[in-house]
Structure 1
Amino acid sequence: MKVFDELESAVRSYSRNWPTVFEKSKGYKLWDEDGNEYIDFFSGAGALNYGHNHDKMQEKIIDYIQQNGITHSLDMGTTARKTFLQRFHDVILKPRNLDYKVMFPGPTGTNAVESALKIARKVTGRETVISFTNAFHGMTIGSLSVTGNAFKRHGAGIPLHHSVSMPFDGYMEGHDSISYLEMFLEDKGSGVALPAAIILETVQGEGGVNTASFEWLKKVEEICRRWGILLIVDDVQAGCGRTGTFFSFEPAGLQPDVVCLSKSIGGIGLPMALTLIKPEYDQWGPGEHNGTFRGNNLAFVAATEALSFWKDDSFSISVREKGEKVRATLEVLVEKYPELQGEARGRGLMQGIACGPEGLASQICRDAFESGLIIETSGPEDEVVKLLPPLTIDEEGLTLGLNILEKSIQHVLHH
């Protein structure tokens, strides 16, 4: 690790949590330079839903490069772009009766969020955006303004304006956060202006795997419809199948006005992002939001192949079944080890255990790494052990990883 310590910025984080040099990866496994094997319950923070170096995606990319396919194209028309757009429409949007224009805003999740905030303000002529407690939407200034984490907000170095934070579902125990939100909108003395948009994650990843009920989500959507507010769903981490359906909002029956996708939309971990916009709100002038790398054709090639997982319901069903196994295991662990003061959270293969004692989740994750499991914390105090295994993981890999997790819990609690 000497090279990283001496030459790389202090801003690095994951290399501190997992102090080794990784060399190879395949499926749900990683290997370091010393040949140590690790099970991956991190999946590139959700960017590797289909695992590492998926065979067919790898083959398609290699073939595309060898055929001298276009690599960089901004937003020029290319064969790779055309093929992806058509496949995304046919496999994802049309079967779900979703009508969106597809925008390539630049290849990161935060860029998708920035473009969503901009179009909402442009369409409505209003400035304020309502977000929620413990939200995480990205690290650029607009995205930080709708992010809840104090440490990350402070990193902006300037005041973050034109946003209001409201309590997420379950944030105020014993209180109805929907009534609270409605009161602020209805009361002319509340100081909260009618917003351009409400932005939310159906499952808050970085914020602690906080899961909104479908009923709560529907009520937020109803508020948006009643007041002419655009509903933005940030599905950067919870989307692309992570919760068991391609879009995390599908089971709630939502029809968001704008949807932000990134991370696993690129299939194999290459940078890519989409902003999906209802046609009536697609009011951009040409080039009004742009970026040099909004034409990542290698990502389009991998992404097109990744959509093969969604041709029918079988993959979605398998993710939900694995999710049920994870939930059952986490609930057993919470009951079996009361010292955790634990709470099982999440949906699909985006789950975690919130731990009561300070620093306990971080200790468990450190111990798990030493035992061959890559797993991270989330939440404002790093209090949640967060599981994001690849959606393609098999029964054996899932069981091995969960067994290591239990052994790490035992080791930390009893030593």
Structure 2
Amino acid sequence: MTITPPALSVFETLESEVRSYCRGWPAVFDRAQGARLTDEDGHTYLDFFAGAGSLNYGHNNPVLKRALLDYIERDGITHGLDMATTAKRAFLESFQNVVLRPRDLPYKVMFPGPTGTNAVEAALKLARKVKGRESIVSFTNAFHGMSLGSLAVTGNAFKRAGAGIPLVHGTPMPFDNYLDGRVPDFLWFERLLEDQGSGLNKPAAVIVETVQGEGGINVARPEWLRALRELCDRQDMLLIVDDIQMGCGRTGAFFSFEEAGITPDIVTLSKSISGYGLPMSLCLFMPELDVWGPGEHNGTFRGNNPAFVTATAALDTYWADGQMEKQTIARGEQVEQALLAICDENSAYGAHFRGRGLVWGMEFTDKARASAVCARAFELGLLVETSGPRSEVVKLLPPLTITPDELDEGLRTLARAVRETA
């Protein structure tokens, strides 16, 4: 495919230099459906990015689109703050019946604002309010958002530097296998907690991703997560699972922590919870933690009713019968076999991969090669991005609804991109 970069335009003359994705994908996109996007010149691209995990059900999913159009056409409420609406009621009832009750999860539901970092800020504030302590423990290579509280528990030095002020009350600890298995899990963490001379203030909570997406597709073992849950219980700390990118079925089960058999005290959801790419986030927590006063944490756009409509349609369509989890696991096995073949072919370059469900990463000895692979993939009509602190990982995040043929097409394109950047 021959791509002609867009000429100097309003994007370059008016839009801020902070823009990023458009630099790696120099096209002006116009339409999208399912797992494909089309630019204004008619070139089509297979999407292994899915809106950074916000489009688990694909672009313009027809079932969700129909529900949204019907709601808009009947003049349903669009903006409602936190007022009671029929759209919110339908979502809460569906979320309870389809997600919470079948998993025996008694969580209260909070709408903290439209984005993932809003949910994280609410989780951190609530943990501190409940425990009466300021410190939060996070993990190396974590990413939890771009607002100040979320940045304080994020590992990436470049993103942290953008804050412009000291980021305080967050303490990093080693993520699973950070020390290559040479040190027993949580040895350092627990020693600091028990030593009165360690200088570690007693944390209110620990926040963790079961799979670190932006951090490089680092997958926590179930036994590591169970040990973390036990440590939090012993040390009177709340466990927060950030499921913003890995929830809503990305790893197979609706929540990414289900495989480990743990129940977090607080869970954050966003990205694909609306199902359609509409802004929406949730902060879930145990009922006994619901100590908020009315309006103590609020926001103008925490009641996105069109998002409630598409979220309800997504739950009822894809999660009521249990088939989505099985399909995602099957698609994940298809990706795993393809990556195994690619890495075997490129073993001389230290190629290796890791992942779960439909989130995978591939890395090479030459850390710069990941960016080259993604650039070549774009030229061949495939959208993939990098992740990791040095953009050293090729990250695969296709829609959960992608067909086996589309998945195979994208994986063959990826293999070609790897081959042609050797």
TM over 0.5: yes
Partners of 1:132 and 1:165 within 8 A in 2: yes
State the TM-score, normalizing by the size of structure 2. Answer: 0.97
Is 1:180 aligned to residue 188 of structure 2?
yes
Match of 1:103 among 101, 104, 110: 110
Q: Does 1:294 align with 2:302?
A: yes
- How far residue 340 of structure 1 moved from its aligned partner, in angstroms, is 3.4
Alignment of 1:52 onto 2:59: yes
Partner of 1:356: 365
Q: Which residue number corresponds to residue 34 of structure 1?
A: 41
Kindly indicate whether the alpha-carbon contact (under 8 Å) linking 1:29 and 1:40 is maintained by their aligned counterparts in 2: yes
Identify which of 315, 321, 337 aligns with 1:328.
337
CA drift at 1:7 = 1.2
Matched residues in 1 for 2:165 and 2:297: separation?
23
Equivalent position of 2:261 in the other structure: 253
Matched, 1:242 2:250: yes
Shift of 1:177: 3.5
Identity %: 57
Residue 136 in 1 paired to residue 181 in 2? no
Correspondence for 1:157: 164
Distance (whole Å) between structure 2 residues aligned to residue 201 and residue 270 of structure 1:
23
Q: Distance in 2 between matches of 1:254 and 1:304?
A: 26
Q: Who is 1:366 aligned against?
A: 375
Partner of residue 289, structure 2: 281
Contact between 1:105 and 1:111, CA under 8 Å: does it hold in 2?
Answer: yes
Alpha-carbon distance in 2 for matches of 1:197, 1:317:
33
Residue type at the aligned position of 1:374: L
Question: After superposition, what is the alpha-carbon deviation per residue over 1:22-80, rounded to whole angstroms, capped at 9, x for unaligned?
Answer: 00000000000110010000000000000000001101111101100000000000000
Instruction: Report matched runs for 1:7-18 at 5 Å.
Output: 7-18=14-25
Q: Does 1:404 align with 2:409?
A: no
Structure 2: distance between partners of 1:29 and 1:196: 44
Structure 1 length as normaliser, TM-score?
A: 0.99
- Secondary structure in structure 2 of the residue aligned to 1:292: coil
Counterpart AA for 1:324: E
Instruction: After the TM superposition, list the runs of 4 or more consecutive aligned residues in structure 1 that deviate by more than 6 angstroms.
Output: none
8 Å Cα contact 1:356-1:383 kept in structure 2: no
Aligned pair 1:395/2:377, yes or no?
no
Alignment partners' CA distance in 1, 2:308 and 2:55: 15
| Preserved contact between residue 330 and residue 352 of structure 1 (Cα < 8 Å) | no
CA deviation after TM superposition for structure 1 residue 339, in Å = 3.8
| d(CA) in 2 for partners of 1:153, 1:111 | 17
Deviation string, structure 1 residues 322-344 (Cα, Å, up to 9, x no partner): 11111121122112112431221
Report deviation, 1:176. Answer: 2.2
Q: CA deviation at 1:228?
A: 1.1
Tell me which of 384, 388, 391 is aligned to 1:379. 388
- Measure the CA separation in 1 of the matches of 2:36 and 2:348: 31
Q: Which residue of 1 aligns with 2:93?
A: 86
Q: 1:74 aligns with which of 76, 81, 86?
A: 81
By how many angstroms is 1:191 displaced? 1.0
Amino acid in the other structure paired with 2:193: L
Q: Secondary structure at the match of 1:24?
A: strand
- Rounded to whole Å, the distance in 2 between the matches of 1:346 and 1:128 is 31
Corresponding residue for 1:25? 32
Gaps spanning 5+ residues in structure 2: where? 1-5
CA contact (8 A) 1:208 1:354 kept: no
Instruction: Indicate which of 254, 263, 268 corresponds to 2:271.
Output: 263
C-alpha displacement of 1:104: 0.2
**Aligned runs of 1:338-357 on 2, under 5 Å?**
338-357=347-366
Unaligned 5+ runs, structure 1: none
Q: Secondary structure at the match of 1:280?
A: helix
Cα distance, 1:110 vs. partner? 0.3
Letter in 1 for 2:20: S
Matched, 1:230 2:227: no
Q: CA RMSD in A?
A: 0.7
Matched letter for residue 193 of structure 1: N
Offset, 1:183: 1.2
Partner Cα separation in structure 2 for residue 202 and residue 18 of structure 1: 29
Match of 1:213 in 2: 221
Query: What is the number of equivalent residue pairs in this alignment?
Result: 413
Q: Distance in 1 between matches of 2:417 and 2:52?
A: 21
Q: Aligned partners of 2:421, 2:348: CA distance in 1, in Å?
A: 11
CA displacement 1:67-125 (0-9 Å, x = unmatched): 00000000000000000000000000000000100000001000000000000000000
Structure 2 CA distance for aligned equivalents of residues 112 and 355 of structure 1:
34
